[in-house]
Structure 1
Amino acid sequence: MKIENIMKMLEVFWPIAIAIYGFFIYKFIPYMKTKIFINEYHNFEVSFFLMEYELVGTIVAQVLVIFLIVAFGKSTWSNIIINEYFFALSVIGLIYSFGISLIVKLKTKKQKKKYVVNMFFGIVVYFVISMQGLAILKNLYNKQYDRDIYFVVISCIILQVLANIKAEKVRNVKYIVITQKETYKTLFEPVKRGKYYFIRITDKNEVEKKRVQIAEERIEKIEYIIEKVEEHE
């Protein structure tokens, strides 16, 4: 592509990128500063380590498998013997699985350690990447399979993240909406739609009883009462 064409593309996309970035800063940053989060999330660390380990570890394992069967078996770089490949793959797979269990043991916090789930998804990723590597070595691989392989790998990683991340409630928030004539207490954050606020009224069992729609100009103040969970449970 010529430099002139690249510059023309930049001239088109640069204002769009700036507009998107500006919108993000304008909307998201103030929201994050004023939002009251009632949950803390744990085990991001174990999820990150597993993701990195499985994406990088599977590639390293493939290289190690090939090296072992060429160095100590009858396979050559141009002729991989299937039996040797699967034997070495199984041995390295056991070491790889031990690595997953070690990460789960050391990094999981405030939650029961989920060995079986993580081992299952980790082995699926290992197997899929291994079969891709074998097909490439045997000149049987078709690039059309890439999409399916990436879908399986990414799906496994996402499911692992969802399985490991733990939400722990650390705060209770009560909302008091004060109008010119009445006061409303609720456990749900009032939602603004246009010129109106919608308030969900609950009973003592936190069951919603009714919803109230109040014009914005009638509201004098909204109070946010923040309490720590352990102080009231």
Structure 2
Amino acid sequence: MTLREQEVAAVFAELTGGAARDPLDTQTLLATLAEGGRRLFHARGALVAYVPGGRTPLLTDGTDPSLGALAADAARWGEGAGYDARTTGCALVDVDVTTHSAQLRWPRWSARAQALGFGRATALPLHGRDEEIGALVLFTAADKPLDEEALALVRLFAEVAGHTLTLQRELNETQVLAGQLEHALSSRVVVEQAKGILAARHGLSLDEAFSGLRGYARSHRRKLADVAREVTEGRLLELLAQ
């Protein structure tokens, strides 16, 4: 394996390796994406804009804080190479940001990019399942456009990045849902336990015990599960004796 192949493998491993073993938090993943793009393509800088699930809020990062700020401002302005790539789903390759046409198309973004010392940009959309979820922008030297091999690789890198971000979001949503289901199941169990305790103590049916439990919770404006938990802990055993 050549040094270049080793470098490519290392960058892709950093981006995707943790997805299955130890998922990165979203902001760390974005930082890894931006830095990986810079290293892999010897760019002068890189930024990434990400809209989880195609919705707000926009998350950004860059190899320099000024680039992260540029990504956020571009979304607010509604202009820039990354903004166009994200909203159209089309890549913009080796765009000279110093030209008159670029300045007309993106007046604020072009001026900021030049002020930061960048003259050429390549922006690629990050694809989710059915929509664009973000964009990766690489800033390269004005006299060093990407060759065909590098362009093919950067397209693959953006594709893998979009897939990784999507998997991470789905994993996070699954974990949240699992937590909600676990909480709901726990609440259901404690309510059933409280019903049994009250029914046995006061000679009631389970339905009567539940009605009393629910009525107490409503009259005291408390959550049913909280009241039930106090019953199981022995703190409200006389709840229905009133």
TM-score range, shorter-chain basis?
under 0.3
Structure with larger RCO (C-alpha < 8 A, sep 6+): 1
Structure in which a larger fraction of residues adopt strand: 1
TM-score (norm 2): 0.23
* Bigger share in helix: 2
